[in-house]
Chain A
């Protein structure tokens, strides 16, 4: 569809004027943007105490199921974020089945020691109406509460196709999760912006921003992160390592410049995969598989305020037991992990998966998918001993 004959037959001076005007307008616009842009820097992990942390002991305070919507049989993929006064908000998707047209993202508030009734925060109809284009499926949520109290929610919303056609919608709430406004579909891929998903919790940065762990899923699977400033504006997109069979990264800063990533394995190793950044997340290198088994299941890693690292993962080693148990592991150096506590042990074929963790004061909150029917919640008291591991 091209013209094979002159497009511009007007006087040359007119074409010259138009071209000069176009280039001048572009240059002026870019110069204006540069003058308003924040100076480079920042986007580094929040400061962490690198002293040897004390021993950690956990005591379970309660466990329960978060109230499910009436008549909705399937639930999966919970996420946690903080609310004022030490409260929490949980997000998950639920519907008739995974990928079903009625799947919606729900939320529930943890306050005064109990979960509120749930409410809908995103559906394919609500997203389609605001985005101006269709949404086929709703999937994993991930959430982060900014310093100003704004809750940023990231929801997987697919185009035409399965999860391989996933995109990530950025939403935000300024009323503690009561209502959410769609901000944009995040641009993450040049291929119709598809096949990018979220799963693990974001990680806070020193300047008030955060990193959102994401991953590419069609064909080869590889982890990435997108960094945001304190206002929730995307700043940078980075691939984590070069491995092609890792997904669902969970990120933890271990020093001012070193960041570790642990990933679900999609390859033959069947081990938790690892990567490290030594320049504050700018570049990454693969560390190879850890010693911990991973039968293709999602995991969560959290750095406690005391400095210890907690990993919550399925430790089953066969196809039948791959998601039937969840256990907590502890590390002080991000390399050597020791078993700390079993959270749930089921029968072969049971599913307790997609864990999430959040620390509030001296309490550890854990949520995970309970038999694909509900979201379970455990609350544990964190007690610090004097002797390091």
Chain B
């Protein structure tokens, strides 16, 4: 096993939770306080990120990170990557949607389910232990990074690929957050987010399929509102339009 130093973990924990909290807050503010925050401008983004970093940097129990790490330990590198990508997208004035890209969400939901069933003892596969492997795990991380790089350069699923690249880079360069590859790629909060995103995408997909299967109406109907998730240009929750 190659594990990160405790000091590095402490810095990562505070910075990562600050960025995750900022990304969550910036996604909630326009939704729940639209009158006060109709648009998320750069000044608001900088303020929220700055305040979160300052809060998390407070000493001891005064820092929210003190309690967040007590309960949740460290966010995965991929979770941090998703949040960084969303913050960058907002900074550039892009539209940001809460749901993860369906393909990524489904992969994370399935992988997380197997990993957690194994961790809870329902299965006996030893999957988590493999994430510490001295050869296979680093090799997988490097191959994953190369695949992400190709996707980014080609402009395919660039948001997801960038988030994933951030996750595996943190693992390979610094062994964050825990020294285990799976901890770099998934955590229970990200898994819940992915599961919700996958279910939402499935519901939308089924609704659209039912709509297509309806017989033609004799009366002209208003055009149904198009679901952005299923449009080619919005097929990726955190990705570029094609």
Contacts and interface: CB of A to CB of B under 8 A. Distances in A.
B89 interface: yes
A320 B68 CA distance: 42
B8 to A, nearest CB: 10
Contacts of B120: 191, 216, 218-220
Contacts of A216: 119-121
Contacts of B90: 3
A7 B157 CA distance: 10
A133 B172 contact: no
Interface in B128-178: 128-129, 131-132, 134-135, 138-139, 141-142, 145-146, 148-150, 152-153, 155, 158-160, 162, 165, 168-169, 172-173, 178
Main secondary structure, interface of B, reads helix
A239 interface: yes
Contacts, number: 229
Contacts of A25: 169, 172-173
Interface stretch (A180-188, A296-304, A334-342, A365-373): A180-188
Nearest to A193: B73
A16 B116 CA distance: 36
A136 interface: yes
Given A30-B142, A132-B10, A192 B72 contact: yes
A113 interface: no
A190 B108 CA distance: 14
A37 B61 CA distance: 38
Interface residues of A, number: 62
A173 to B, nearest CB: 16
A1 B122 CA distance: 32
Interface stretch (B97-105, B206-214, B216-224): B97-105
Nearest to A9: B92
Chain A to chain B: the 4 pairs with minimum beta-carbon distance, closest first: A2-B238, A3-B89, A220-B121, A19-B149
Interface of B: 1-3, 6, 9-10, 13-14, 23-24, 26-27, 60-61, 65-73, 82-83, 85-86, 88-90, 92, 94-101, 115-116, 119-122, 124, 126, 128-129, 131-132, 134-135, 138-139, 141-142, 145-146, 148-150, 152-153, 155, 158-160, 162, 165, 168-169, 172-173, 178-180, 182-183, 186-188, 228, 234, 236-241
Interface of A: 1-9, 12, 15-16, 19-20, 22-23, 25-27, 29-30, 33-34, 37, 40, 128-136, 159-160, 182-185, 187, 189-193, 216, 218-222, 233-239, 241-242, 244
